[in-house]
Amino acid sequence: MKLLNTDTVKEARDKLGERCRETMLRTEIVGLRDAAGRILAETIISHENIPPYRRSIVDGYAVMSKDLAAAGDMIPSMLKITGEVLLGSDPAGLRAEPGCCVYVPTGGYVPDGADAVVMIEYCEPFAGGMLAVSKSVSAGENIVRIGEDMAEGDTLLEKGRKLRPQDTGVLAAAGVCEVRVFVPWRVSIISTGDELVGPGEKPGPGQIRDINTYTIAARSGAEGFDVVRTASVRDDRDAIVKALETARDESDVVIMSGGSSQGKKDMSAELIGELADSGVLTHGIAAKPGKPTITGFDRASATVFIGLPGHPAAALMVYEQTLIRLWRELTCQPEERRLRARVTVNVPAAPGRRTFQLVRLSGGDMPEAEPVFARSGMILPVSAADGYFEMEENREGVRPGDMVDVVLWK
């Protein structure tokens, strides 16, 4: 079987994206406790001002700042204490009047009339309800204004954001108890190869331990996908078909690894062609690593099929560039942050192919990227790499001193 109609990585993603956008992007509503780690499917706008009242950031006395203009260590200013604000309640008619002050705890409501709060450390109560203050304050000092944290109408969190713990705090503060998020894809992983044994087994002559099942499952989990099934299957047509059919019934994405090139026992393309009603959409991508890559989409069951190369480094990179990126694009996630770094040595690009080069980073203010070469089938260098940079299809390579943008490994 020949590698026909080689696509760029983007073409491969777009072909899948066009077909699965409608059927494969489901959303659901989750409560705040389940929101972290999920991808927002709506933009959240503030309907309130937070804080909704002027809030003190210290324990102290609410004052009119001009009353303390001359206050200092040597000559404190004297104010009359006219009341105390209780935390969690409104000041009940209390007002700061000239020459007077009101006690306010941290987080308390700053009464009308006051324009600053002086910290308790600078205050000393005296008999007769008087307070000596040994420090001046400027207007606004120690007060968070109404709406200073979030104002009514502010965009709080945008669609496509992967919610972090602190984001759930924003939602809680804004009174948003439920949010609409994308339903993660259910993923099945089928590793194929007569040579594969499990990680708990001792490989015999010509055998190796199955790596891809574990890297791809873990990478899926890290992206938030739901890994519903993994299977390691021999290069046996019937066994693979059976595994693919079961996986199709249970998942949104069926990932095969191995058997994607043109060897005698390589069946990915043929089987994906049979199982996906689109037929094979992409047969080979113009990428290094990762040329033998196959995709298909079965509309009837709404299932994406991907045949990844067997080589672990290639399988992981192709998975990243196809399915993970597709998910991120469809769910409106921003591009991942990249770290600018200086390349230390010559790195050639593969002509006509997009090259993904693993690197290790060193250095502080100006990071240096040293290429890591993982020969076919090797995994330790992949693990030692901090990330990778891309070289476009028409690029010849990079030279020492060139700057590149490194995507950090998840």
Q: Which residues have CB under 8 Å from 159's CB, separation 6+?
A: 40, 41, 42, 43, 332
- Report the partner that residue 312 touches, choosing among ligand AMP, Mg ion, none (CB closer than 5 to 8 A by kind): ligand AMP
Q: In this complex, which beta carbon is closest to Mg ion, that of residue 17 or of residue 290?
A: 290
Cα–Cα distance, 193 to 170 (Å, whole number) = 48
Instruction: Give yes or no for residue 310 binding ligand AMP (CB under 6 A).
Output: yes
Q: How far is CA 197 from CA 2, 205, 213, 233, 264, in A?
A: 29, 11, 11, 10, 20
Q: How far is CA 387 from CA 276, 279, 294, 317, 401, in A?
A: 33, 34, 24, 10, 18
- Binding Mg ion (rule: CB under 5 A), the pick from 193, 292, 307, 387 is 193
Instruction: Give yes or no for residue 309 binding ligand AMP (CB under 6 A).
Output: yes
- Binding Mg ion (rule: CB under 5 A), the pick from 111, 259, 312, 387 is 259
How many alpha carbons fall within 13 Å on the CB side of residue 389?
Answer: 26
Task: Supply the minimum distance, in Å, between the C-beta of residue 162 and ligand AMP.
Answer: 28
Site for ligand AMP in 241-280 (CB under 6 A): 257-261, 263
SS3 196: strand
Give residue number: closest CB to ligand AMP. Answer: 310
Task: Supply the minimum distance, in Å, between the C-beta of residue 401 and ligand AMP.
Answer: 35
Instruction: Give yes or no for residue 292 binding Mg ion (CB under 5 A).
Output: no
Query: Which sign, positive or negative, has the C-alpha torsion 374, 377, 267, 22?
Result: negative
Instruction: Give yes or no for residue 258 binding Mg ion (CB under 5 A).
Output: yes
Task: Supply the minimum distance, in Å, between the C-beta of residue 260 and Mg ion.
Answer: 8
Q: Produce one character per residue of 49-70: b if its CB has 16 or more CB atoms within 10 Å, e if not.
A: bbbeebbbebbbbbbbbebbee
Task: Supply the minimum distance, in Å, between the C-beta of residue 240 and ligand AMP.
Answer: 11
Tell me the window of 49-57, 95-103, 188-196, 322-330 that interacts with ligand AMP (CB under 6 A): 188-196
Task: Supply the minimum distance, in Å, between the C-beta of residue 310 and Mg ion.
Answer: 5
- Binding ligand AMP (rule: CB under 6 A), the pick from 311, 328, 353, 354 is 311
Site for Mg ion in 10-49 (CB under 5 A): none
Instruction: Give yes or no for residue 309 binding Mg ion (CB under 5 A).
Output: no
- Note the helical H segments in 231-288: 237-250, 268-275
Q: Which residues have CB under 8 Å from 374's CB, separation 6+?
A: 313, 358, 381, 382, 385
Tell me the window of 40-48, 147-155, 205-213, 321-329 that interacts with ligand AMP (CB under 6 A): 205-213
Residues that bind ligand AMP (CB under 6 A): 191, 193, 195-196, 208, 210-213, 257-261, 263, 309-312, 377
